[in-house]
């Protein structure tokens, strides 16, 4: 896909997404977002080969990624605003926060859950050398900034935040309570809770008989820094038959089954990372400068938002047209379709570039939608 054949709707979408960027910058961003979707790679040479003059295209991409006037923070904040404008005005809105890394470079990402996938909408990039002793501080700072933006579009009572046990921390719980964010977070089994007047490690508490869930109630958590939280235990067998146990805490009075189902949405961010790294090829990127690496990730985040928006219009509104399109890229299923929405849309737009005509900034996300079967 060359510069001269860029879809008009994609050009318009990115112009509206990044109104602060100069025209030549937006044009370059649009060119390489289209190249990422077309080539599914983070290799700069492969992206440049989509243009007429490869040597000039490599230099153009390098200038874009190393342009100090393009602040990585601006990319994240404006993409966050665009994604939130496409969120419905009512209903629950789920977010996840997690780290992902490539070698010595790390991304802290806040993602919006859309169906069974999560779209990165806010992030910060860090080099390994700056994280030692500062990781918790960065996590709190990112959450403060991200939700300051989020609350401009989504009221706090609508928000649900999930995070893995690496984030469990008294300072984080206190911050989330102050912000009014409802959360479900997994914690480590080695943490002590006060039950029946005694402090016991969570991993020493047992289930009753063959029960798979246990409600501990609203009790004190963490002996060294006590605070009252709703705590539950849930377990399930993995594919190898081994028991896996979730120790979950929340600031809302949820039963064990409710808490486990809500926490299950956290894994959507893992699928989102897989879409960015595998389906789009971000894992192939090799850039030493952390800010340039962050700018490249911004291009991939824009591509994911574009693909999700197109998928909403083409595949998730049901009807005969959606079934016909899905049949091009998915086999028949008796149950739900296991194909990623991102993978399906990539395959479709590579076959037929005119499908970008479905891209619109006015598209509202259906946050509960999943791909239907195509039998």
Cβ contacts of 235-239, under 8 Å, gap ≥ 24: 235/207, 236/212
Identify whether the C-beta of residue 77 lies closer than 8 Å to the C-beta of residue 149. yes
Q: What is the mean pLDDT of residues 40-60?
A: 92
Helices then strands, counting H and E runs in the chain, come out as 13, 10
What CA–CA distances, in Å, run from 305 to 75, 119, 153, 259, 280?
A: 13, 7, 17, 28, 12
pLDDT number for residue 211: 92
Identify whether the C-beta of residue 161 lies closer than 8 Å to the C-beta of residue 146. no
CB atoms within 10 A of CB 323: 15
In this model, does residue 206 exceed pLDDT 60? yes
3-state secondary structure 100-144: EEECCEEEEEEEEEECCEEEEEEEEEEEHHHHCCCHHHHHHHHHH
Distance CA 83, CA 79 (A): 6
pLDDT tens-digit map of 111-148: 999 988 899 999 999 999 999 999 999 999 999 999 99
Q: Which two tokens stand for residue 114?
A: 């859309």
In this model, does residue 49 exceed pLDDT 60? yes
In this model, does residue 3 exceed pLDDT 70? no
Residue-averaged pLDDT of the chain:
91
- Please report the sign of the dihedral spanned by the C-alpha atoms of residue 111, residue 114, residue 118, residue 121: negative
Identify whether the C-beta of residue 357 lies closer than 8 Å to the C-beta of residue 9. yes
Distance CA 362, CA 360 (A): 5
Ranking 82-91, 142-151, 156-165, 307-316 by mean pLDDT, the lowest is: 307-316
Token look-up 């005969």 returns: 320
CB atoms within 10 A of CB 193: 22
In this model, does residue 336 exceed pLDDT 60? no
Backbone angles phi, psi at 138, to 5 degrees: -65, -40
DSSP 3-state of 210: coil
pLDDT number for residue 95: 98
pLDDT tens-digit map of 254-299: 999 999 999 999 999 999 999 999 889 999 999 999 999 999 999 9
Q: Which two tokens stand for residue 227?
A: 């605070």
pLDDT number for residue 179: 96
In this model, does residue 163 exceed pLDDT 60? yes
Beta-strand ranges (E) seen in the chain are 93-102, 105-114, 117-127, 159-163, 182-186, 192-195, 198-201, 213-221, 227-237, 243-250
- Please report the sign of the dihedral spanned by the C-alpha atoms of residue 270, residue 275, residue 279, residue 283: negative
């Amino acid at each position: 896909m060359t510069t001269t054949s860029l879809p008009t709707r994609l050009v318009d979408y990115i112009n509206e997404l990044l109104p602060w960027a100069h025209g030549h910058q937006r044009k370059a961003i649009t060119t390489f977002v289209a190249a990422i979707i077309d080539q599914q790679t983070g290799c700069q040479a492969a992206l440049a080969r989509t243009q007429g003059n490869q040597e000039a295209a490599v230099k153009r991409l390098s200038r874009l990624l190393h342009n100090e006037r393009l602040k990585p923070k601006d990319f994240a904040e404006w993409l966050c605003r665009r994604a939130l404008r496409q969120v419905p005005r009512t209903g629950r809105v789920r977010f996840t926060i997690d780290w992902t890394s490539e070698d010595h470079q790390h991304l802290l990402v806040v993602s919006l859950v859309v169906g069974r996938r999560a779209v990165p909408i806010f992030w910060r990039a860090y080099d390994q050398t700056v994280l030692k002793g500062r990781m918790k501080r960065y996590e709190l700072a990112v959450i403060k900034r991200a939700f300051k933006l989020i609350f401009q579009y989504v009221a706090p009572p609508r928000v649900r935040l999930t995070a893995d046990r690496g984030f469990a921390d008294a300072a984080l719980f206190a911050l989330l309570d102050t912000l009014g964010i409802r959360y479900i977070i997994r914690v480590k089994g080695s943490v002590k809770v006060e039950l029946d007047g005694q402090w016991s490690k969570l991993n020493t508490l047992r289930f009753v008989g063959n029960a798979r869930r246990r409600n501990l109630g609203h009790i004190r958590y963490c002996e060294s820094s006590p605070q009252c939280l709703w705590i539950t235990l849930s377990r399930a067998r993995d594919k190898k038959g081994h028991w896996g146990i979730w120790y979950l805490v929340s600031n809302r009075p949820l039963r064990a089954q409710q808490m486990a189902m809500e926490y299950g949405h956290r894994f959507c961010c893992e699928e989102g990372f897989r879409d960015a790294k595998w389906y789009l090829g971000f894992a192939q990127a090799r850039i030493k400068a952390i800010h340039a690496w962050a700018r490249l990730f911004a291009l991939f985040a824009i591509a994911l938002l574009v693909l999700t928006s197109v998928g909403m219009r083409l595949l998730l509104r049901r009807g005969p047209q959606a079934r016909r399109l899905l049949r091009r890229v998915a086999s028949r299923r008796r149950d739900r379709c296991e194909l990623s929405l991102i993978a399906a849309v990539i395959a479709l737009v590579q076959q037929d570039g005119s499908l970008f005509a479905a891209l619109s900034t006015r598209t509202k996300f259906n946050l509960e939608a999943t791909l239907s079967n195509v039998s």
